Amino acid sequence: MDTVSLTPLLLTYWDSQEELYSCQVNDLTPDIVLPFFIQNLHWRVVNINGEQVARKTIPSLKIMVYSENVTLPHDVAEAPPFGDQIGHHEVTHGRPGGLDIGEAL
């Protein structure tokens, strides 16, 4: 399973205070971030030649969004401890390649 951190993107929107489709990232809580993702998160698949491939043609593709709390350590040489992962199926439910509510990876 591969992962892509969306936190840097969220921090960019938080810093700019840009509003997209009536959603603005004022903080990084799920109450703010999840509606933003539901409106604005999109994914595409490209082949080795850079050509877009229809997501529905890849039944094994499963995109999910999860969050986890991270505690910054006092010593920058230490790895930060991560909390439990919480899945947010509402972001991807019903979309091609998205993990649906009640569906497991």
Summarize pLDDT for 75-93 with one digit per residue, the tens: 989 999 999 999 999 999 9
The gap from C-alpha 100 to its chain's centroid, in whole angstroms, comes to 14
Q: Distances from the Cα of 20 to the Cαs of 13, 23, 66, 70, 90, in angstroms?
A: 9, 5, 21, 27, 19
pTM of the model: 0.78
Q: Are 53 and 45 in contact (CB under 8 A)?
A: yes
| Model confidence pLDDT, tens digit, residues 6-19 | 888 888 888 877 77
Whose tokens are 């229809």? That residue is 54
